[in-house]
Structure 1
Amino acid sequence: VRQGHQLILVHPHPDRERTLNGLLYEGHKIRGDESFRKPLAEGDLFRIGNEHDALITLTYHDGSGTKQDTLPPMQPIKLSDAEVTIGRMPDNTVVLPHPQVSGYHARLVREEGTYRIHDLGSTNHLYVNSQVVTNHPLKMGDEIRIGPYKLVYESTRLAQFDESKYIRLDALNLKKSGNNQVVLLNNISLSVPPRTFVALVGGSGAGKSMLLDALNGQRPAQQGTVLYNGQDYYHNLAAFSSQLGYVPQDDIVHRDLTV
């Protein structure tokens, strides 16, 4: 219940004498017939169970927000030469040492007061503002993606960010239905901050694989949004496909192969 600007956790429900299985608040067991009242604070965690010992975990956030990991600052790339090459090989003007970056990935050529970027036949393509390009005139604020690197064009320089170790995933209101309108994903929202290990735990048929497939784009949700570092993942699958991996439950190799 809300009192002024404060939310109060009340157990059991004011219209009920008890709950079936009680709850766990910050690790403390509250019996089904036990009265409990607690003003909620940022980060408070409580769990509600059912008769099958399945637990739903809820974490309270008061809207003030918590500090998030931010991308570490990298030295900006100054643009002064008429031609700038970008790639993994050490003789490039700008060296991006990552396996997803081709040896000679892209070239910037100055023309008419700006730069035009060209793909040099890269393996993982060149993206400008989430679109695959072979050559593209740059304007202020354009976002260039080369492997896990994001480069932002700022006229006289490129701001650069290495996102390979700072990936944030957000799911917003994911919904999906199957045959006969059976609900498979019921308005799921979650956030995975950078450098966080998350386990999805549940019984067989609970929808774990369905949710994972919605998050990784194998089987997208029918409604809702998945954000990869703040960008719409479903609309940019190609741009991020080399940065999200998927390990199936079973071997995908033919079982009868001899090698």
Structure 2
Amino acid sequence: MSLVLVTGASGGLGLATATALADAGHDVVLHARDASRVTDKSFLSRMRDVVYADLADLDEIVGLARQANRIGRFDAVIHNAGVLNGPEVFAVNIVCPYVLTVLMTPPERSIVLSSSMHMSGSTDLDAVDFSRPGNRSRPYEDSKLYVTAFALALAGRRTDSLAHAVDPGWVPTRMGGRAAPDSLEEGHRTQEWLATADESEISPRSGGYWYHRRPRQPHPAARSAQFQRELMDKLEAHTGFALTAGTV
């Protein structure tokens, strides 16, 4: 039985992930922006706990990390929360996973949600302003490239734990739309497996980019040590928090 935090789990892929993990007997901590986001309260009794925070607000991300640390050390954190457009894209899609990773007691496994659209992300970090994603022509694509590179960088920096990025596919959620062609079930199966499977079943053990439980090659920049280093430096400068090796 694993203790798992799932961010952005009041609906869509996050809720599907959280409920599937709970049905499998795991202790799940569900995150939502606020109580009003949880329109169906019936599933809350199946959760170990529920935590609230606006992930577009740095102070609330810090508060979420504190809430999580009070619960205990997690076996896995699934960074599911995501925003498709608007001024919150960078804050939610990349700054939040970074800050939670820095401030939480390091979990045994970290899984971030990427997207095939990360392949169109810009590799020009010189002009990145994490507080102003609207200045970018493709902020969502950029954010998914960054979070993919972050996961692979984390795999290299915290070798005692596991870190992976997952492309869930284009699935029929509120974000994906009803016409999305991919399976909602397949869209959450990979991150559940990476969070709870025996390590011997996962290859590569860490630093993978996955689609439907199969490893794929990400954008070359995501594996570039220089790109990863520049990204981490940018995130540290923006947030004031530095990522350490994180062993416990």
Q: Give the TM-score of the pair, scaled to structure 1.
A: 0.21
Whose strand proportion is higher, 1 or 2?
Answer: 1
Whose helix proportion is higher, 1 or 2?
Answer: 2
State the structure with more CA Rg. Answer: 1
Answer 1 or 2: higher relative contact order, Cα 8 Å, separation at least 6: 2
